Amino acid sequence: MSQTTTIPTTKAVRDRLKSYGQKGETYSDILERLMDMADKDEFMDRMYRRLEEKDQFVSLDEI
């Protein structure tokens, strides 16, 4: 198992983070899941921008 660390934060931020959790998840689990989601969203945004720049992207709204 990885070494653990302490990250200073306010109680408000800690409580907000806890609200994103599911039963049995650690704070580390929650943070990792949220970062994975952010990475995926960022990747998809980059891909859509690339397609738009190449004029190959057609929105479903335009069909």
pTM: 0.62
6-46, pLDDT tens digit by residue? 999 999 999 999 999 999 999 999 999 999 998 898 888 88
24: left (phi over 0), alpha (psi -120 to 50) or beta: left
C-alpha span between 61 and 6 (Å, rounded): 47
**Cβ within 8 Å of residue 51, ≥6 positions away:** 57
